[in-house]
Amino acid sequence: MSKAMVVDDSRTIRLILAKTLAELGYEVCQAANGKEALAAIERENGSISLVLVDWNMPEMNGLEFVQQVRSDSRFSQVPLMMVTTETEMHQMVKALEAGANEYVMKPFTKEIITDKLRLMGVIQ
């Protein structure tokens, strides 16, 4: 079973995304901010095959997390999807330039998440 991580400071959003990913066959772990997520990705030692990450979080935001992950050759190929309330086009461009593979604006539906995961090639 593939393992995914949901990174968001909102417990509710983490639960919604975790449920969606579990229904798609993923084992899911969670983190409340980028700092926790980096520690988890290290601890999981390559077993995380997908990360959904929020932008606005305390400690380390999602953009900083994406930049850190992309700068580490061990994790640079892990598919990353930014799931955020940031709706400005320049924010989306910034996230994609930093290394996010896809970008979803909140509020989202299960169908939107599933479609984006298909576009990323991580599900059929």
State residue 1's pLDDT score: 77
The domain segmentation of the chain, as residue ranges, is 3-120
* Each residue's pLDDT tens digit, 48-60: 999 999 999 999 9
State residue 124's pLDDT score: 85
Task: Give domain 3-120's CATH superfamily.
Answer: Response regulator (3.40.50.2300)
Please write down the long-range contacts of 31-36, taking CB distance under 8 Å and 24 or more positions apart.
31/5, 31/6, 31/7, 32/7, 32/8, 32/57, 33/7, 33/9, 33/57, 33/58, 33/59, 33/60, 33/61, 34/7, 34/59, 34/60, 34/61, 34/62, 34/64, 34/65, 34/68, 35/59, 35/60, 36/7
The pTM for the full model equals: 0.96
